Structure 1
Amino acid sequence: MYKQQIEAYFNDPRRRAELVEHISRLVRVRSVREDAQPGMPFGPGPAAALDEALKLSSELGFAVKNYDNYAGTVDLNDKDTILHILCHLDVVGEGTGWTVTEPYNPKEVDGMLYGRGTDDDKGPACAALMAMQAVKDLGVPLKHNVRLILGTDEESGSEDLAYYYSKEPYAAYTFSPDAEFPLINIEKGSYKPVFTKSWDVEEATPRVKELHGGFRINVLPPEASCVVAGLSAEAAKPYCDAAAERTGAAYELKEDGDDLHILCKGKGAHASTPEEGNNAITALLDLLCALPLAKVGSTAALHALNALFPHGDCAGKALGIAQSDEISGSLTLAFSLLEVTPTGLSGQFDSRVPICANEENCKQVAEASFAKFGLSAEGDMQEPHHTPADSPLVKTLLNCYEQYTGNKGECLAIGGGTYVHEIPGGVAFGCCMPGFNGNMHGADEHTCIADQLTAAKIFTQAIIDLCS
């Protein structure tokens, strides 16, 4: 029902112009999280973006509410709420390398709207808002309310949703257009322990004095460096050449007195897809364990790490936690952080675990593997998120997707986490169409205006089907 009316509504050129203006209005507000200020838990930028979005929603005739600048709500009617749509207004930093336009000066080029937040997540927020407007303008009778929740901290931990849901109940149905179509119903759990080992001050050479690898837990490290005392570049070079052949990484050597600085260059990737990169930490360990280092505590610890995390093992096989299941796929592991000092080490890996993983077959096994080498590990597992594919919400949303795209609707399982990871029964639904790359989080972020309009049609139908 209503497909013909919905198509006609959004095919009106005025809708396209309105959508572009609405998105642009929000993109012009720099909403990067900063230090908290009174009444602004995530800084002035996110608070200003929320204020602007609620003003826009109010101008369109919706009832709005601000939850202490953590989040805001937009209600379609005053009936009981059965559907939540979660979008966020905060953005990552602008970075460098923009060429089409400045990050907060939205610009349309060849059907694409450029600017920070156009794709993640201000564009989708406006598509959802326009869907609510369409239901209202078309006069569709509803038995229930849909509430658009506009958060301000998705990029930095989702404290916004935690605050909102501490005050309000969950809805029967929840989806977030902060991902991609068709629909994500499975998000793997995670296990990210910190492991440590210490030793006495050492004097023997050659030995590793320090090592630094990685900069963020969810990024496969593209670089790692170390300082080796008592080894020359000439002596190390044959080992570097052999390691480069084994690992595919590059090694740069620089002498500084009796110290040898080694820089290892690999290839970065997201921690949920470590096979797409080349881990510089494990590549550096591979080299160090081949060098003729002194038999001291630091050397033994590096050999232990190399045994537990051999280069190229992205599944946790050596650690003993490799596993998979049919619906959520395989465990992935990225050794992403490592610091070695003269008296110890601290490291952390990021593993995305399938539904079959639990404390017994994952956490306890990993801790036992570390203990064999005298390392201690601390960290808890995060539960996976799974909304069954045969649930009414999933079946309804996929049917709406198929109606307006002509493509087959299917469920996806991912290693990353979305805005609904902690929401019971929630799914990620849109806004990116399959195959589209809006360069989210990068320079020249953009969205396809035609795709956003299609998403708005899909959301309109979903609101009608779920709230009628």
Structure 2
Amino acid sequence: MYKEQISAYFDDPARRAELVAAVSRLVGVKSVREAPAPGAPFGPGPRAALDEALKLCSELGFATRDYDHYVGLADLNDKPTQLHILGHLDVVGEGTGWDTDPYTCVEKDGMLYGRGVSDDKGPVCAALLAMKAVRDLGLPVSKNVRLILGTDEESGSEDIAYYYAREPYAPQAFTPDADFPVINIEKGHYHPDFGASWAAASALPRVTALTGGFRHNVVPPEAQAEILGLKAADVAPLCPGLEEATGARFTCTDAGQGVTVRCAGRNAHAASPDDGINAIAALLELLSRLPLADCPSTQALLGMHALFPFGDNRGRALGIAQSDAESGELTLNLALMTLTETGFTAKFDARFPVCATEETCKKACEASLAKYGISVTGDGEMTAVHMVPADSPLVKTLLSCYETYTGVKDAKPIAIGGGTYVHDIPGGVAFGCDFPGFDPKMHSANEQASVENLLLSAKIFALAIAELCR
């Protein structure tokens, strides 16, 4: 009904400039979670991003509220709220390998580059301008839509839990933090902490230290190990073959009575581990080939290599591989590992399908770890799968709006491994902003967003607001 009006509104070059300017403002704030501080529950960066976003919303004429610095709110009107749109302003760390400053939004050939342009600052701006379009065009709505601006999506969503512990859910909700057409299934999450300890040993050669990874939901791009009793010349000959097999890169440097081995991989979102090169797993491949002494650290490393061989992103060696037609395969990312002279700790991130059970996932994993003397030490619970029926009114309406502006016929909802804000919200779905075939390089270097795709998303969101709130 409103297709032509909304299209004309966003086809105005002024809207394009407005969108790019808004995204640039938010990307310019480094909003990675840090230690809490007074007035900044997730650190100064997320708080600064929230302040900037609320300032932007106010400048556009929306009533706003800072909800104890956990989330910010922007309301379309003062009518009863029908729809929550949940976006987040926090980002993962920049990592390495960028061609531009990750905290300066750069536009080139119709593409925006910068941390957050796709996840999730660009989509937040698309949703905000969609609300503005509904207001500016005077589309007849009898209900309110509330944009909820979160600050902790990447680190556990404590912000949204805080908000909904105090306020009710809206009748309908979506988050523009994933893919089109509509995501009605989000796989369950399982990311236990595990490890082992032992008495310090003196046997040579042995690995005395290992570190790798920086977040459980990111494929680790870097890892390094300290090996006592070997030299660079002992390790380097093994590297070319492994580099060819894995795509990782190794650097060996003599250090005192030993050698430091550094491994460079490629980061990616843990929900798509095939897109990255796991530096920890690649380093374990190398270490497993060295003539290390038979001591506890060597046994632990060989055990980890057996359970997490490079390229096994489905958990086959761990004994938890499984899949179903509705939600696809389980995916696995060995995300973090630290080894010292007296033990090691590690963490993996598994995204499991609808068919998974505690028996086939959690207990199977614990049994496999136990065979190598490794035990789960904490955070070993499974987070349930989130599923909304494909024939629900919200899903059907959103699919219709998507089809209206894309020309796609008979679009179907999909399942993803990523977890979004709606994972624990009854009836909530993920809706945009990434279109099929587009790679946003999410959680990787050179994160990107298409300006035209963001504008198209804004059109779809505006129509969805008009349809859901009329």
How high is the TM-score relative to the length of structure 2?
0.86
Q: What does residue 405 of structure 1 align with?
A: 406
Which secondary structure state, in structure 2, belongs to the residue aligned with residue 349 of structure 1?
A: strand
Q: Distance in 2 between matches of 1:389 and 1:73?
A: 29
Q: What does residue 185 of structure 1 align with?
A: 184
Count of matched residue pairs: 467
Change (3 A) 1:226 1:30: closer
Q: Is the 8 A contact 2:268 2:443 kept in 1?
A: no
Moved more, 137-146 or 385-394: 137-146
Q: Distance in 1 between matches of 2:284 and 2:419?
A: 30
Moved more, 351-360 or 239-248: 239-248
> 1:107: how far off?
6.0
Q: Distance in 1 between matches of 2:418 and 2:223?
A: 24
Which secondary structure state, in structure 2, belongs to the residue aligned with residue 220 of structure 1?
A: coil
Q: What does residue 462 of structure 2 align with?
A: 460
Q: Is the 8 A contact 2:354 2:385 kept in 1?
A: yes
> 1:325: how far off?
0.9
Q: Distance in 2 between matches of 1:71 and 1:223?
A: 33
Moved more, 4-13 or 72-81: 4-13
Change (3 A) 1:210 1:175: same
> 1:334: how far off?
2.1
> 1:332: how far off?
1.5
Q: Is the 8 A contact 2:232 2:254 kept in 1?
A: yes
Q: Distance in 2 between matches of 1:154 and 1:225?
A: 29
Which secondary structure state, in structure 2, belongs to the residue aligned with residue 305 of structure 1?
A: helix
> 1:401: how far off?
0.6
Amino acid corresponding to residue 384 of structure 2 in structure 1: E
Change (3 A) 1:138 1:222: closer
Instruction: Give 1 or 2 for the bigger CA radius of gyration.
Output: 1
Q: Is the 8 A contact 1:224 1:280 kept in 2?
A: yes
Q: Distance in 1 between matches of 2:171 and 2:87?
A: 17
Correspondence 1:40 to 2:40: yes
Q: What does residue 432 of structure 1 align with?
A: 434
Amino acid corresponding to residue 383 of structure 2 in structure 1: Q
Q: Is the 8 A contact 2:94 2:102 kept in 1?
A: no
Change (3 A) 1:301 1:34: closer
CA offsets 1:177-215 (integer angstroms, 9 cap, x no match): 122322222222222222222223323333333333333
Amino acid corresponding to residue 376 of structure 1 in structure 2: S
Change (3 A) 1:407 1:73: same
Q: Distance in 2 between matches of 1:294 and 1:73?
A: 59
Q: What does residue 68 of structure 2 align with?
A: 68
Which secondary structure state, in structure 1, belongs to the residue aligned with residue 134 of structure 2?
A: helix
Q: What does residue 11 of structure 1 align with?
A: 11
Amino acid corresponding to residue 168 of structure 1 in structure 2: E
> 1:288: how far off?
3.4
Q: Distance in 2 between matches of 1:76 and 1:203?
A: 67
Q: What does residue 203 of structure 1 align with?
A: 202
> 1:88: how far off?
2.4
Q: What does residue 382 of structure 1 align with?
A: 383
CA offsets 1:117-156 (integer angstroms, 9 cap, x no match): 4444333223222322332333333342221112233344
Alignment of 1:271-350 (within 5 A): 271-350=270-349
Amino acid corresponding to residue 411 of structure 1 in structure 2: P
Q: Is the 8 A contact 1:282 1:335 kept in 2?
A: yes
Change (3 A) 1:108 1:336: closer
Moved more, 33-42 or 369-378: 33-42
Q: Is the 8 A contact 2:106 2:112 kept in 1?
A: yes
Q: Distance in 1 between matches of 2:112 and 2:236?
A: 50
> 1:175: how far off?
0.7
Q: Distance in 1 between matches of 2:354 and 2:141?
A: 37
Change (3 A) 1:83 1:198: same
> 1:27: how far off?
4.8
Moved more, 209-218 or 313-322: 209-218
Amino acid corresponding to residue 403 of structure 1 in structure 2: T
Change (3 A) 1:273 1:111: closer
Structure 1: which 5+ runs fail to align? none
CA offsets 1:96-115 (integer angstroms, 9 cap, x no match): 877678844x5655544566
Amino acid corresponding to residue 272 of structure 2 in structure 1: T
Q: Distance in 1 between matches of 2:24 and 2:247?
A: 44
> 1:372: how far off?
2.1
Q: Is the 8 A contact 2:97 2:445 kept in 1?
A: yes
Change (3 A) 1:444 1:6: same
Change (3 A) 1:229 1:113: closer
CA offsets 1:318-368 (integer angstroms, 9 cap, x no match): 221111111111112222322222222222222221121121111111111
Alignment of 1:40-189 (within 5 A): 40-92=40-92, 103-104=103-104, 109-112=108-111, 117-189=116-188
Q: Distance in 1 between matches of 2:432 and 2:249?
A: 39
Moved more, 135-144 or 113-122: 113-122
> 1:5: how far off?
2.8
Correspondence 1:419 to 2:421: yes
Q: Distance in 1 between matches of 2:407 and 2:320?
A: 41
Q: Is the 8 A contact 1:210 1:226 kept in 2?
A: yes
Q: Is the 8 A contact 1:103 1:444 kept in 2?
A: no
Q: What does residue 366 of structure 1 align with?
A: 365
Amino acid corresponding to residue 318 of structure 1 in structure 2: A
Amino acid corresponding to residue 395 of structure 1 in structure 2: K
> 1:85: how far off?
0.7
> 1:49: how far off?
4.0
Structure 2: which 5+ runs fail to align? none
Moved more, 29-38 or 422-431: 29-38
Which secondary structure state, in structure 2, belongs to the residue aligned with residue 459 of structure 1?
A: helix
Moved more, 374-383 or 325-334: 374-383
In percent, how many aligned pairs have the same letter?
61
> 1:314: how far off?
1.9
